[in-house]
Amino acid sequence: MTVSARAFLEELFRAADKKSAGVRKKDAVLTEFRLNDYRNLSSLQIKEGIEHEFRMARDAGAIALEWDRPGENGFIRRITLVDADRLANYLGIERSAHIVAQAREHLVPFLPRFPVLNDVIARWGTLKKVRMTDATQVDEWLDAIRAVGALTERFTGEDTPIREASARLFNDSKRLEKLTGPLDTILTGSIEMEARLPAEVWKELGLFREEQPVLLAGRIELARSRLSALIDQPYGGFASHAVLGVSGHMPSRILTIENLTTFHSEARRGQDADTLLIYTAGMPSPAWRAMYRRILTSTPATALLFHWGDVDEGGFRIASVIASDARLEQRTLLPFRMAPEDIPIDVRRTASPAVLARMRTFASRAGWQELGDRIQEAGFTVEQESLS
């Protein structure tokens, strides 16, 4: 095994960095136990070479050395940090606090729009990663911020292949796919939410690798770009931009459904009903949302709007987005089977206070303040498939 002075000094540097970040309480020091590999060396030449480098670091004002015997005889038994900055300079390593401070400077202009970046910076400050990135990878976050801004401001009415959008934005067709973690965090506004599948993140921005049709069900006639016709049994799939609205007999209600299993079950049961079922496929894309607004424009206010999704943080966030589109059309979105009394006890999963607080926030954004309060008090989450 190779023993080097630099490896010991880097270990001391990491300990100093951890103490500075508040994740270590003990002083940065190497004791006899930590120096065991050096102290067991049988080669005098290697021993003297290591000690020479330790002396150089000491002479640079970075460390203090204690020996077994006076006059620097025997072995070094203790190395104590004197000045972390000088040790960093000696090793040619930048301190984590400096790297985090530089990352913060880059991100400061975007904090008002994306407050979650404060949490990202704080997590980096404790030497922890966020979505597999640390402060040295701030460029990934800057590119993700740029992408969110560009893609949300330039929506053309149709979703876009992700590699086409990536090449246009970064002159690199694969760059956007590498930014999925930062994009997910920026979009959800939370470093605590469970990571979504890449396709779900891209879809929220109107991006796809393989375009999927929107699924609708019910005995409802849709006006489409080339014809108007009843939806097939038990459901039909269409390009979102091709659905122009509802024609003929109007639905009595419109129910959006988050999960595919639930949609299929309800589609079979309601294929001959005058309820229009629309599958959101998780968080709906911008093209889906534009289609939804066209449908609302084409239907009377007497058609009630409902949403059925997961009773969890992501589910209520999705509901808040759909509710915002409904409000743009002067309509109100109501929850469907998402109240505590609708949820059997045996399928409930206990949720943390932080998760419940965020659920309540999203429920409030959907206009469901009272439901959010009750869910927070009940203290659970549940996936929609458990309720089908």
Torsion 117-119-123-129 (CA) sign: negative
- Say which residues have a Cβ less than 8 Å from residue 116's Cβ, sequence separation at least 6: 185, 186, 188, 189, 190, 191
* Percent share of the chain, pLDDT over 70: 98
CA dihedral 49, 53, 55, 60 (to 10 degrees): 160
Burial 8-19 (b: 16+ CB within 10 A, else e): bbeebbebbbbb
Is residue 253 classed as helix, strand or coil in its secondary structure? strand
The pLDDT of residue 3 is 85
The pLDDT of residue 387 is 61
Per this entry, what is the length of the chain?
A: 388
Residue 388 has pLDDT above 60, yes or no: no
The pLDDT of residue 346 is 85
**Rg of the chain over CA atoms, in angstroms?**
29
Instruction: Identify the burial level of 308 via C-beta atoms within 10 angstroms of its C-beta, where 0-12 means exposed, 13-18 middle and 19 or more buried.
Output: buried
User: Which tokens hold the place of 310?
Assistant: 């997961």
pLDDT, tens digit (0-9, with 9 covering 90-100), for 264-303:
999 999 899 999 999 999 999 999 999 999 999 999 999 9
The pLDDT of residue 83 is 95
State the average pLDDT over residues 208-237. Answer: 94
* Residue whose tokens read 């065991």: 36
Question: Which band of pLDDT confidence, cut at 50, 70 and 90, is reported for residue 386?
Answer: low
pLDDT, tens digit (0-9, with 9 covering 90-100), for 38-71:
999 989 999 999 999 999 999 999 999 999 999 8
The pLDDT of residue 383 is 75
Residue in 352, 227, 236, 224 with CA at minimum distance from that of residue 298: 224
- Say which residues have a Cβ less than 8 Å from residue 180's Cβ, sequence separation at least 6: 198, 201, 202
State the average pLDDT over residues 115-124. Answer: 97
pLDDT, tens digit (0-9, with 9 covering 90-100), for 342-351:
888 888 889 9
Average pLDDT score over the chain? 94
**231/289 Cα distance (integer angstroms):** 19
- Say which residues have a Cβ less than 8 Å from residue 179's Cβ, sequence separation at least 6: 140, 143, 144, 147
The pLDDT of residue 385 is 64
pLDDT, tens digit (0-9, with 9 covering 90-100), for 134-148:
999 999 999 999 999
Contact 245, 294 (CB under 8 A): yes
The pLDDT of residue 262 is 94
The pLDDT of residue 63 is 96
Is residue 175 classed as helix, strand or coil in its secondary structure? helix
DSSP string covering 110-148, please? GTTT-THHHHHHHHHHTT--BTTB-GGGHHHHHHHHHHH
The pLDDT of residue 345 is 86
Residue 235 has pLDDT above 70, yes or no: yes
**348/340 Cα distance (integer angstroms):** 10
* Residue whose tokens read 């597999």: 132
